[in-house]
Structure 1
Amino acid sequence: MSNTIVPCESEMSLAELRGDCARMAPHWVVPAKTAAEPVEASRIHGVTVPQSSARLIDAMSDYGD
């Protein structure tokens, strides 16, 4: 008895899948993006960040340099 795994072949081709997706796209609803409003620091309570994590985040330019 062999433990060889045989990959299954899809019954649908990539072209068929793309066609199905194209037909369904008009039915998908995309919610409007809303910008999050900043929260005052005085309203944030109970958050503890280890000093090593704070230094890491502070060094990342994506977080407000």
Structure 2
Amino acid sequence: MTKLKAPVPAPVDQDGDLAALRGDCARMAPHWHAPDRIAPLPVSPSLIHGVKVPNKSARLLDAMSDYGD
């Protein structure tokens, strides 16, 4: 009986690169189905309530610069 040798698979690069990632995404794209966009219904103003923030948190947020100013 002859023992056949199976080919040794090439090592797999677990990190990959951007080209490999894009290729993987392109192969998977046909399997992904996005739902139709559903328009949100308007909310009654009586259901909208204010946001309550503790004073310490409000002062902290007020002291932060917006967008890295």
Q: TM-score range by the shorter chain?
A: 0.3 to 0.5
TM-score by length of 1: 0.45
Higher relative contact order (CA 8 A, sep 6+): 1
TM-score by length of 2: 0.43
